[in-house]
Amino acid sequence: MNKPGWIGVIVWGAFFAGFGLSYMGVGGSDIAPQNVVFLIVGGMVTCLTGVIGLAGAMGWAPGLPTEAESCS
């Protein structure tokens, strides 16, 4: 994946974490507390994956195209 792809993963994770954080402390919401925790933790893990990928440490992951393959 290229840099904009990993930045998109980070933004997507921040979106989910922010969505979960927006429901924290809302008294009359219909969303269950475990779903709020899932959104926050899942968003943070997604952001961490994007940061690791942006740093170049995800090049070993099988199935991800390399830069030479994706330029064709």
| Per-residue pLDDT reduced to its tens digit, 14-35 | 999 988 888 876 666 677 888 8
Domain boundaries, the chain: 3-23+31-58
Exposed (0-12), middle (13-18) or buried (19+): which is 54, by Cβ within 10 Å? middle
Model-wide pTM > 0.85: no
Task: Round the average pLDDT of the chain to a whole number and report it.
Answer: 81
Within 13 Å, how many C-alpha atoms sit on residue 39's CB side?
17
The predicted structure's pLDDT at residue 53: 85
In this prediction, what percent of the chain has a pLDDT beyond 70? Answer: 71
| Residue 2 vs residue 16, higher pLDDT | 16
